[in-house]
Amino acid sequence: MAGSGKSKGTPGKAKRWLVRGLKISVAAGVAGLLAVVIAVVIAMQSLPDYNSLKSSPNGQMIRVHAADGSVIVSLGPSFGRWMDYDQIPKVMVDAMISTEDRRFYLHPGVDPIGMARAAWVAVENRGKGRRWQGASTITQQVTRNIFLNNSYSWGRKVREMVLAMALERKFSKRQILELYLNKVYFGGGAYGIDAASRKFFGHSATTLDLPEAAIIAGLVKAPSSYSPTADAEAAIGRAGVVLDLMRDNGVISASERAAVDMQGVKLAPEPPQNSVRYFTDWALPQLDVLIDEPNEPLEVYTTIDLNMQKAATAAIQANMPAGTQGALVSLDRDGAVRAMVGGLDYVTSNYNRATTATRQPGSAWKIFVYMAALEAGYTPDTGITDEPVDINGWKPRNSSGRFSGDIDIRTAFAYSINTVAAKLGVEVGFPTVADMARRFGITTPINTHPSMVLGTSDVRLIDMTRAFASIARKGIAVTPYGITKVTTADGRLLYEHQDDTSRVLVAPWVAAGMTDLMQTAVSTGTGKAAQIGRPVAGKTGTTTSNKDGWFLGFSSGVTTGVWMGRDDARAVGGLQGGRAPARAFADYMKVAVAKRPVEPFETEVTLPEWQLEPDAEAYYGSPDNGVDDGMMVDENGLPIERARPAQPDPRDDQDMEVDPQDRLSSQRIDQQWIDNVLGRDRQRQPPPRPAPSP
């Protein structure tokens, strides 16, 4: 009997424990459900309104266009234009739901079925180091993108689920989809379908077709792996998986799936990222003063001409002496920057030598000396004497080592005669020369020592090019600019450049006289290597010890400046402005003006059969401000050792002229001889009389 009672009691006790356990489980479940409900309600109350969610957090997309409208670079986290749900193509919505959350319309923010499947996968892969994946709904992804981060922890996952259910209670499915499609990351810096569409296909998301929508939907899983710009084949392969899911979910038919031609999708070309970045690095910071729009995506239209930029890069790279750097700036007649090269290679050095570096310009600076003289009453035909000069102990010498006696201003400039520049500096006053340089846009400090006439003040290439462009524009100020127009992504105009022709720097006849001098320098003087088969006006520049070589000039409405040298300012054997820089100028300008009409200058120069070459820029190792006996002068006029060339360019031997004094030793090289060579029959004008003292 006793044993029988014990056996009857055991099942009863087990039953009681089972019932108790069920009650505890139900109570725990109810408590947990109540806790979830309370948490969701509290989360709902803390959620911002829909408009606030649309704008937070955000970033600004900037797409930069070349002069022909093509995109050259996209910068910043790109959010594109906000797409309202009704503007989003249905194929894009269907592709995203089929790929990321096919039960989106059925769950309350979390998907129990998806969570169970993910848990089972996690059990199967226990110990393999794989995370619990595949359980996040579209709503959970929205909460993670807006409120949380991508750190993996159970605490973050619980908060994510609570916020997801709160979102579902406060907002509609359409609103959640709109948030998701405008904020999810698609790779390449693109957030949202409009930014992705513009980056990968070059057009707005409003016109996305089925294959394009499939590519974009496939990027969410692994943006870096499936990005069309990184691996187009992988992107197309992943899009095929998306199309299969769309077919399986019934949003497209089998025939529609079979008709899709993924190979026919046209991807936007990846914009250039090398030398053009020198230009964008210079131009884009100007947006801060041009517009006041920190949030909306921007379309920035610029002046850069990609064909001219390509030619500029090739010209610099082809002509730079070994071990040197080079820079080039090219301006249209109104100041539009058509090409800018800041160095040999942007990837290895993003330092912009065209806009940032300051170097001595050598004889290129003489344009300010001669313009000051022209404004004071001199003309290109004014007579002047090339003779020894002593200015408070400073005794500049000509690089030829000779003095030509009575010559005119045109000849002195063409052959870059230093003594004449020094005499003109004394006549007009060194502060007047400095004022002329300031007037023409030189922004760096300018000294007023006598040696300044030979270019001892540091300058920037873009400033010097600006000065030459203002001369080419007949004395009207030119301001370099790179941005023509800025709009929002939907076309709202924020800024448009307006040309200002109101600032006149010198009288037109002064600019014409300076152009006369500079075309002579190219036709018969130190700049012959810059000839391009049409009228060119320009000036060479070479500094002491061959540290810097310059050529700046203009033709047919295009003004271009070229600089070459070493970043550490060490001497470069064989570097003169009339050699490598002038050749780079010519190589570039032949392309730059090829489609432009020939524009003759107001005065023309007849080329002689052969030219006098007294300026040693055309010889190895002698810069504009050298002295005789193989010596050169520094910025104080003191002799220094001349750098000897190493591995000279073989083309230089072909360009060298026999010294006319050796060829015609019995003749005196004076102004009469020069006039005979140049075929000129005219009377020199006397120098202007100085103004009487009051």
Assess if residue 575 is contained within a domain: yes
* Counted domains in the chain: 2
Count the Cβ atoms, other than its own, within 10 Å of residue 487. 18
Sign of CA dihedral 115, 117, 123, 126: negative
- Is residue 280 over pLDDT 80? yes
Q: Are residues 414 and 540 in the same domain?
A: yes
Cβ pair 357, 328 in contact under 8 A: no
Q: Output the CA angle 75-79-82, nearest 5 degrees.
A: 145
Which residues touch 64 (CB under 8 Å, ≥6 apart)?
71, 72, 73, 74, 75, 280, 283, 284, 300, 302
Question: CA-to-CA distance for 599 and 555, rounded, in angstroms?
Answer: 7
Is the CB of residue 450 less than 8 Å from the CB of residue 434? no
pLDDT tier at 35, thresholds 50, 70, 90: low
User: Domain check: are 241 and 345 in the same one?
Assistant: no
Q: Out of 576, 593, 610, pick the residue that ends a domain.
A: 593
Return the pLDDT at 212: 93
Q: Say if residue 385 is exposed, middle or buried (CB neighbours under 10 Å; 0-12, 13-18, 19+).
A: middle
Are 110 and 246 in a shared domain? yes
Q: Is 192 exposed, middle or buried (0-12, 13-18, 19+ CB in 10 A)?
A: buried
Bridge-based pairing of strands 185-187 and 190-191 is antiparallel
Residue 294 lies in a domain: no
Q: Are residues 201 and 321 in the same domain?
A: no
Within 10 Å of residue 407's Cβ, how many Cβ atoms? Answer: 25
Q: Is the domain of 354 the same as that of 210? A: no
Pairwise pLDDT comparison (59 vs 568), residue with the higher score: 568
Mind giving me the DSSP string for 215-263? HHHHHSS-HHHH-TTT-HHHHHHHHHHHHHHHHHTTSS-HHHHHH--GG
Element (H, E) at 640: strand 639-641
In whole angstroms, what is the distance from residue 657 CA to residue 295 CA?
Answer: 62
DSSP 3-state helix, strand, coil percentages of the chain (rounded to 5)? 45, 15, 45
**Does 640 score more than 50 pLDDT?**
no
pLDDT at 69 over 80: yes
pLDDT band at 432 (very low <50, low <70, confident <90, very high): very high
* Residue 632 falls inside a structural domain: no
**What per-residue confidence (pLDDT) applies to 300?**
96
Confidence of residue 223 (pLDDT cuts 50, 70, 90): confident
pLDDT tens figures, 670-679: 455 445 544 5
Please report which confidence band the pLDDT of residue 149 belongs to, taking 50, 70 and 90 as the band edges.
Answer: low
Q: Are residues 548 and 475 in the same domain?
A: yes
What b/e readout covers 408-425, taking b as 16+ CB neighbours within 10 angstroms?
A: bbbbbbbbbbbbbbbbbb
> 229: closest CA among 73, 357, 369?
73
Q: What is the DSSP string of 31-94?
A: HHHHHHHHHHHHHHHHSPPHHHHHHSS----EEEE-TTS-EEEEESSB--S---GGGS-HHHHH
Task: Report the amino acid identity of residue 131.
Answer: R
243 and 314 fall within a common domain: no
Structure tokens at 482: 């790179």
Best CA proximity match to 544, nearest among 565, 530, 514, 567: 565
Instruction: Determine what percent of the chain is predicted with pLDDT higher than 90.
Output: 47
Q: Judge contact between 13 and 136, C-beta under 8 A.
A: no
CATH of the domain at 149: 1.10.3810.10
Mean of pLDDT over the chain? 81
Is 271 among the domain residues?
Answer: no
**DSSP collapsed to 3 states, 173-211:** HHHHHHHHHHHCEEECCEECHHHHHHHHHCCCHHHCCHH
Q: Confidence class of residue 615 from pLDDT cuts 50, 70 and 90?
A: very low
pTM of the model: 0.69
Question: What's the mean pLDDT in 77-82?
Answer: 72
Is residue 154 domain-resident? Answer: yes
For residues 128 and 588, which has the higher predicted lDDT (pLDDT)?
Answer: 588
Residue where a domain stops, chosen among 259, 284, 302: 259
pLDDT for the residue numbered 684: 59
The pLDDT score that the predictor gives to residue 59 is 59
- Shared-domain flag, residues 94 and 190: yes
pLDDT of residue 605: 58
The whole-angstrom separation of Cα 265 and Cα 215 is 10
Say if residue 226 is in the same domain as residue 332.
no
Most confident of 51-65, 266-280, 585-599, 661-675: 585-599
The rounded distance, in Å, linking the Cα atoms of 341 and 316 is 8
Confidence grade of residue 642 (pLDDT, cut at 50, 70, 90): very low
User: Whole-angstrom Cα distance, residue 60 to residue 80?
Assistant: 8
Indicate the DSSP class of residue 498: -
Q: Which two tokens stand for residue 528?
A: 């012959």
Q: How far apart are CA 382 and CA 376, in angstroms?
A: 12
C-alpha dihedral over 263, 264, 268, 274, to 10 degrees?
50
Give the span between the Cα atoms of 557 and 473, in whole angstroms: 8
| Domain presence at residue 372 | yes
**Same-domain status, 227 and 351:** no
DSSP code per residue over 521-542: HHHTSTTGGG--SS--EEEEEE
Q: Report the 10 Å Cβ neighbour count for 272.
A: 18
Among 190, 225, 259, the domain-final residue is 259
312 SS3 class: helix
433 burial (CB, 10 Å; 0-12 / 13-18 / 19+) is buried
227 and 345 belong to one structural domain: no
The CATH number given to whatever domain includes residue 377 is 3.40.710.10
Determine the Cα–Cα distance for residues 523 and 515; give it in Å rounded to an integer: 12
Per-residue pLDDT tens over the stretch 533-570: 999 999 999 998 889 999 999 999 999 999 999 999 99
DSSP 130-160: ----S---HHHHHHHHHT--S---HHHHHHH
**Contact (CB, 8 A) for 59 and 281:** no
Picking from 218, 265, 263, the residue whose alpha carbon sits closest to that of residue 241 is 218
Structural domain contains residue 243: yes
**pLDDT level of residue 37 (50, 70, 90 thresholds):** low
**Has residue 39 been placed in a domain?**
no
Can you tell me the distance from the alpha carbon of 611 to that of 423, in angstroms, rounded to the nearest whole number? 25
Q: Which range of residues forms the domain containing residue 352?
A: 310-593
Report how far apart, in Å, the C-alpha atoms of 412 and of each of 433, 447, 521, 615 are.
17, 23, 9, 10
Cβ atoms < 10 Å from Cβ of 7: 9
Residues 325 and 247 in one domain: no
CB distance 285 to 610 below 8 Å: no
